[in-house]
Structure 1
Amino acid sequence: MFRTIEKSNPAFESNHLSFITVKTKNLKGRGDICIFVPPVEGLKDIPLVILLHGVYGSAWAWSQKAGVHLTAWDMIQKKELEPMAIAMPSDGLWGDGSGYLPHNNFDFEKWIVEDVPRVVVESVGAISEKSDLYISGLSMGGFGALRLGIKYSDKFKAVSAHSSITELEQMSLFVEESLNEYKQISKQEESVLELALDRKEYLPPLRFDCGTEDLLIEHNRFLHQQLNKAQIAHEYEEFEGGHEWDYWQKHIKDSLRFFNKFIK
């Protein structure tokens, strides 16, 4: 499926993190993925969580700014989680953030939904096509997780997001690129709510949370209210905190626990 896959050498890896760079037509070049696999013998077909970063970040952000791999391993050791792998891809490194959308002749959406799972299956023995997929993210990555999890509900078993952008226009709060660069053919593709309403009968389990001091709190509250109005099942929580790594480091645990409920 891929012309080249470059993998890190296990002799120089640490804390059960490995790194992959792959060339894909969807990015018209290379993309990076950071992968955590718990060091448990005999793992087979374990769940895979795709974890998306926000604007300005890359594949290293969740591990090097929030230590999510250390959090997950600690929870697994304490029997709070079943063994699961976490794939942390770059967003394609376009501008301040790609939005995980197709635009400008790149397909950042297919990079996440198609390429990342395939690369991991080819590269990690504990992951296979039988592995259940989950998706989560923060801010722009929350937008990506909600949007892609809803749109591709046949692929993802559950979705959880933090401090999420909920409509494309909110990208203007963070990026210097014009919103015209991100425009989709259908306005529905730019809205988490509109996609959820359109796919109401086919949604995976959904949860999302936001900090009470977050600049996106009212947008998240509105999404929650409108989902309730449409009688779309979901979990929504608010916690103290802002749009910051201290918040995400703490509350990624909520996503992992949420996913764990659906592991057989």
Structure 2
Amino acid sequence: MELFRTIEISEPQFENSCLRYITVKSRHLKGRGDICVFVPPFLETVKDCPLIILLHGVYGSSWSWTLNGGVHITALEMMQQKKIPPAVIAMPSDGLWGDGSGYIPHDGLDFEKWIAEDVPAAVQKCIPSVRTSSRLFIGGLSMGGFGALKIGTRYAGQFSAVAAHSSLTHLAQMELFVEEEVNGLLQKEAKDNSVFLTIMKHKHQLPFIRFDCGLLDTLLDENRLLHHQLLEAGIPHEYEEREGGHEWPYWQKHIRDSLLFFSKYF
């Protein structure tokens, strides 16, 4: 049985800026999901090309990392300068539920499995250089940072490393950003709402972890707390604080740090 009932992919003759667009019908979304994919132009000799999945924050969609963050421009520049090896970057929508799905299962939909299972499978089916043996990485900002840290940890056997910028560290923090009732998003198990508790549950098999936060960020205290909790628990990780707030100029600049971090494990 095919994983996707339908797959639509953009025509190469109309693509530009090394961006490809994929829409699949997902059983986990019970509908269609969109993925924007950065495919660098020099993959002919690359086998098992690494795949990086980048998750957007609230209010956004599959275009956010490119048209708000310019990540495809940054990544291509870094590859051309030999700062990082070639990699494909997949930027899916979160499922487009409310102001943000949280990348968790709720309301009969599984936004977590959409990311962890469907997105890699769709890219592997549509991009020949990405195979089931390719190394996988996951990162994100804000709500997407929360999703990346949780999914990357829960699926540690699948993802080699995880990186997050300005991340929510607990699902309850969604109330700072969304109009939907957050209690409807909270999971039954407390550990499923918390990045730290999720990491502790899977502490015997973890990906490499990196996260950062701006000194003017709304979530700075929460990120500092997560850092100290991980230190006290003896969980290896990288954490940095930089100038900036919860805003695109910060993420545009520091996505470079995540790409460099990932490239150490290609």
Query: Structure 1 length as normaliser, TM-score?
Result: 0.99
Q: Which residue identity does 1:53 align to in structure 2?
A: H
SS of match in other structure, 1:200: coil
CA shift digits 1:167-206 (9 cap, x unpaired): 0110000000001221212110000000111111111110
Q: Which residue identity does 2:163 align to in structure 1?
A: S
Match of residue 151 from structure 2: 148
> Structure 1: 5+ residue runs without aligned partners?
none
Match of residue 40 from structure 2: 38
SS of match in other structure, 2:68: helix
2:209 aligned with 1:196: no
Match of residue 105 from structure 1: 108
Match of residue 27 from structure 1: 29
Find the aligned partners of 1:44 and 1:145 in 2 and give their Cα distance: 25
Query: Which structure 2 residues correspond to residues 3-22 of structure 1 after superposition, within 5 A?
Result: 3-22=5-24
Q: Which residue identity does 1:35 align to in structure 2?
A: V
> Structure 2: 5+ residue runs without aligned partners?
none
Contact 2:196 2:230 in 1 (8 A): yes
2:217 aligned with 1:214: yes
Shift of 1:42: 2.3
SS of match in other structure, 1:46: coil
Q: Which residue identity does 2:127 align to in structure 1?
A: V
Match of residue 2 from structure 1: 4
Match of residue 52 from structure 1: 55
Find the aligned partners of 1:128 and 1:235 in 2 and give their Cα distance: 29
Q: In the alignment, which of 103, 106, 121 is matched to residue 124 of structure 2? A: 121
Match of residue 159 from structure 1: 162
Q: Which residue identity does 2:17 align to in structure 1?
A: N
Question: CA-atom RMSD, angstroms?
Answer: 0.6
2:67 aligned with 1:64: yes
Q: Which residue identity does 1:107 align to in structure 2?
A: D
Find the aligned partners of 1:8 and 1:105 in 2 and give their Cα distance: 30
Query: Structure 2 length as normaliser, TM-score?
Result: 0.98
Aligned residue-pair number = 263
